[in-house]
Structure 1
Amino acid sequence: MSKTFAEQVVIVSGAGRGLGAAIARAFAREGAAVVVNWRKSEAEAVALAEELGPRARAIQADVTDSAAVARMVAEATETLGAPTTLVHNALADYSFNGDGREKAETLSWEHIATQTQTSVGGALNLIQACLPAMREAGFGRVITIGTNLFQNPVVPYHDYTAAKGALLGLTRTMSRELGPLGVTVNMISGGLLRVTDASRATPDEVFELIAANTPLGRVTTPEELADVALFFASSWARGVTGQNLVVDGGLVCD
């Protein structure tokens, strides 16, 4: 079973800015109702929801808090309809700054746990909150956000990459369990995007190096990655689940 975009209510976690905002705009452009989830970016999220129109709502929830996520889903259901499409984009506070990263000597389990709590714990909370509606509809789309650092850890962001690796594992196991319910679960793995709040600390020469080594000759944008989220939520991807699609202009191959 598939649903048109106009029939979908989409939650985009961490949608107040950056990649999440680009994803929210993409779904709204295609006619979906959109929940702009935010944790700290209230002004940006509210402004984005107003921009997207009457079928958008900015709803606060820390995705690591299962009770807060349940409240968000309940509010979304009351105002827009039951969400059966989920894009888990939320990221614990992070800056892609190679000079400021945690190195082997300074890395602690707490660094990894903080990232994992949002990446994996947040995904679990969101899926569990949306699952009753997905089961009832016989339809669901879960899209997680990964990284091409799996294949090419050109900068060893240990904590971030380890957490996203765990999220890939959850993506694939959930695809197996939820498939019989009509729910697909897939991951989109971008490279360094130009530009988001997390990548603003990246020096220009790093962007230039990536562009020079990418077949398309440029750095991927949030909007380009957002369009792939539309693919996974569309009827065209109804037979695709458990996959990790790398969207980085061809820099790495999965």
Structure 2
Amino acid sequence: MNIDEQVVLVTGSSRGLGAAIAKAFGKVGADVVVNYVKNEDMANQVVESIGNDHAIAIQADVRDEYQVDKLFEKAREHFQKPVTTIVNNALIQFSFDAVNRKTADTATWEDYNAQFEGSVKAALYTVQAGKKQMTESNFGRIINIGTNLFQNPVVPYHEYNTSKAALVGFTRNMAKELGADNITVNMVSSGLLEKTDASAATPDDVFDVIRENTPLKKVVTPEEVADSVLFFAAPWSRAVTGQNLVVDGGLVMD
């Protein structure tokens, strides 16, 4: 299925990387569901940038199974066709603040659990709700957003990095089971992005270190990561599943 035939849900897409991904899909003609929790005005701005004929903003906390089910129902009702593509991007209550991060001494299980719920629990609910619609079309694309930090924790954001490591396992197990229904499940893992709300607390010298140590001598932008997400939704990747693509300018080479 070509991208311009797909209905794409991007969770947490009112700002930052999620907004860039939603806009990227909109540019190539997909119908886009812009999911948000609180930032209704920003979500509507993303919809306007795509065009009201091809996008809708829908509020839902993707950690809540009932709200996720309703999200998919509203999307199908609006576009009059099933959701084919899910991008699990939502970031729950986390800031990339290397100075004030939780350390090995101060991190609590509640901190870990909050990130597990935002990464794995939310992805579980969207996959379960989406599978029902994808099997009807015998087509589905699921792209989970990870991080290069679980492979190379330059900054040990303990709870966040660990939750994304768990998301790799989730990705590969779902890829194994859902492949028979022509549903692929992959992950795109970026590094620190320049500059989003989530990375606003990151000191400039951290970005300088990334530029110095990255082969491309640059900090990757949200738009560049979004292009790689499109690859996993496009026909070119139809034989690829269970993979984690690191998009960080070559900083981490897996």
TM-score by length of 1: 0.98
Q: Which residue of 1 aligns with 2:3?
A: 5
Aligned partner of residue 86 in structure 1, secondary structure = strand
Match of 1:47 in 2: 45
In the aligned structure 1, how far is the partner of 2:46 from the partner of 2:221? Answer: 19
Please give the alpha-carbon distance, in whole angstroms, between the structure 2 residues aligned to 1:100 and 1:205. 15
Tell me, in whole angstroms, the C-alpha distance in 1 between the residues paired with 2:152 and 2:48.
Answer: 39
- 2:162 corresponds to 1:162: yes
Name the residue aligned to 1:16.
14
Other structure's SS at 2:26 match: helix
User: RMSD between aligned alpha carbons?
Assistant: 0.6
Alignment match, 1:129: 129
User: 1:91: which partner in 2?
Assistant: 91
| CA drift at 1:239 | 0.4
Residue 33 (1) aligns with residue 31 (2): yes
Match in the other structure for 1:77: 76
Letter in 2 for 1:66: E
Q: Give the whole-Å Cα distance in 2 for the aligned partners of 1:58 and 1:186.
A: 25
How many residue pairs end up in the alignment?
252
Deviation at 1:195, TM superposition (A): 1.1
Residue 239 (structure 1) aligned with residue 239 (structure 2): yes
Residue aligning to 1:116: 116
1:66 aligns with 65
The runs of 5 or more residues in structure 1 that have no matched partner are none
Q: For each residue in 1:58-98, what CA deviation from the matched residue of structure 2 results, as whole angstroms up to 9, or x when unmatched?
A: 00000000100111100000011210100000011111111
Amino acid at match of 1:237: S
Partner-residue secondary structure (3-state), 2:23: helix
SS at match of 1:101: coil
Deviations 1:33-62 (A, max 9, x none): 000000111110011112211110000000
Q: Distance in 1 between matches of 2:107 and 2:251?
A: 27
Tell me the equivalent position of 1:211: 211
Aligned mates of 1:106, 1:40 — CA distance in 2: 28
Report the TM-score, using the length of structure 2 for normalisation. 0.98
Deviations 1:161-197 (A, max 9, x none): 0111111110000000000000000000000000111
- Identity %, equivalent residues: 55
Flag as ranges the 4+ runs of structure 1 deviating above 6 A.
none
CA distance in 2, matches of 1:14, 1:46: 13
Distance 1:188 1:58 in 2: 23
Aligned residue type for 1:13:
T
Counterpart CA distance in 2 for 1:147 and 1:5 is: 25
In the alignment, the residues of structure 2 paired with residue 166 and residue 252 of structure 1 have an alpha-carbon distance, to the nearest angstrom, of 19
Cα shift at 1:132 = 1.1
